[in-house]
Amino acid sequence: MKVPAHTIAAPRLADGGSGDAKWAVILGVSSGSGFEIAKAVAAEPGLNIFGAHRGHWPEQAEAIDAHVAALGRKSAHFIGDVGTHAGVEHAADRLLEVAGPRSVRLCVHAIANASLGMFLPGYGDGPFRPFIQQNFHKTMDSMANSFVWWAQALVARDLLAPGAQLLGLTNPISDSMIHNFGLITAAKAALQVYVKHLAWEMGPLGYRVNLLNYGTVDTLAVKKAFTPEKWQRFQDVVAQAIPARRMLTTPEVGQFVTLLLRPEAHWFNGATIDFTGGQSQSLLDCLLYDAWDKNRANAPKQEENP
């Protein structure tokens, strides 16, 4: 569905919302991680939701409104690209109108808009396409630079409530070498550095900035990066690599973000928070054992040790 850039959806104001309730800004509210984080923080601690997305998933945006209204909270959407500097400025202006100064308790950067490809041409056929220049701009702006632009826009408009937190999202596969993932990995590395520097600069103002690192969850962005067969293979490998032997779910991510809003979590700052369930430590082991298990399946049954 094609939606004009920077369309503003009218805020849905639910009855019974308390006048002094604070807001969560969820960039990428209509799918995956952002969708579940919005649902979770609307319930606990009970934040209003200002969501941004480009309008590709209108049913899910409506589902957020319904969920938030049922909790007696307010919701509003900015429909447009919030991964560009101009888009951030437009959306932040709208946020100021809707929520007012010092109202934002949480801002989560959950947009996924990265290009896959290789840095050099001629690396085989098919999916290994070389990047074009536009891929660099789009990926770095959407996945990393816009995080800083949001911090700037929120501070410039005095939108942040005392003790507010900015949260970026990252993935342990950023530490691995995976074909086609060069740009997204570079963007995540930049995001991690931005988080540390922003925490340093925003700390004296009374704000916190963190990065949540969690393993692959089943979302639209992830599925787009794989063929169905590769996605199945990926899920199997990841499940083997996690001590719990299953993948994390997006509702679990949402629940964890509510913990980060509790007073007891106030000392997390400038942190890359490991919520991988141990995934990052065991990928190599899992690959080795996968091969051994196949060999073992074909081998004659061994005698037990005396």
Ligand X SMILES: NC(=O)c1ccc[n+]([C@@H]2O[C@H](COP(=O)([O-])OP(=O)(O)OC[C@H]3O[C@@H](n4cnc5c(N)ncnc54)[C@H](OP(=O)(O)O)[C@@H]3O)[C@@H](O)[C@H]2O)c1
Instruction: For residue 188, count other CB atoms closer than 10 A to its CB.
Output: 23
Residue whose C-alpha is closest to residue 151's, from 193, 96, 92: 92
Question: According to the binding rule CB under 6 A, does residue 147 interact with ligand X?
Answer: no
Q: Count of residues binding ligand X (CB under 6 A)?
A: 31
Kindly tell me which of 26 and 69 has the beta carbon lying closer to ligand X: 26
Question: According to the binding rule CB under 6 A, does residue 110 interact with ligand X?
Answer: yes
Least distance (Å) from ligand X to the CB of residue 123? 23
Residue whose C-alpha is closest to residue 214's, from 176, 183, 252, 180: 252
Question: What are the counts of helices (DSSP H) followed by strands (DSSP E) for the chain?
Answer: 10, 8
Residue 130 bridge partners (DSSP): 118
At 270, give phi and psi (nearest 5°): 65, 20
Least distance (Å) from ligand X to the CB of residue 54? 3
Kindly tell me which of 79 and 99 has the beta carbon lying closer to ligand X: 79
Kindly tell me which of 71 and 212 has the beta carbon lying closer to ligand X: 212
Contact 116, 184 (CB under 8 A): yes
Question: According to the binding rule CB under 6 A, does residue 214 interact with ligand X?
Answer: yes
Least distance (Å) from ligand X to the CB of residue 91? 9
Least distance (Å) from ligand X to the CB of residue 124? 25
| Residues 139/140/146/149 CA torsion (nearest 10 deg) | -160
Question: According to the binding rule CB under 6 A, does residue 56 interact with ligand X?
Answer: yes
Question: According to the binding rule CB under 6 A, does residue 187 interact with ligand X?
Answer: no
20 burial type by CB count under 10 A (0-12 exposed, 13-18 middle, 19+ buried): exposed
Residue 51 bridge partners (DSSP): 26, 77
Question: According to the binding rule CB under 6 A, does residue 283 interact with ligand X?
Answer: no
255 burial type by CB count under 10 A (0-12 exposed, 13-18 middle, 19+ buried): middle
Candidate list 171, 192, 258, 279; residue touching ligand X; CB under 6 A: 171
Kindly tell me which of 58 and 288 has the beta carbon lying closer to ligand X: 58
Kindly tell me which of 57 and 150 has the beta carbon lying closer to ligand X: 57
Candidate list 11, 23, 24, 34; residue touching ligand X; CB under 6 A: 34
Site residues, ligand X (CB under 6 A):
28-34, 52-57, 81-83, 110-113, 142, 169-171, 214, 216-217, 219-222
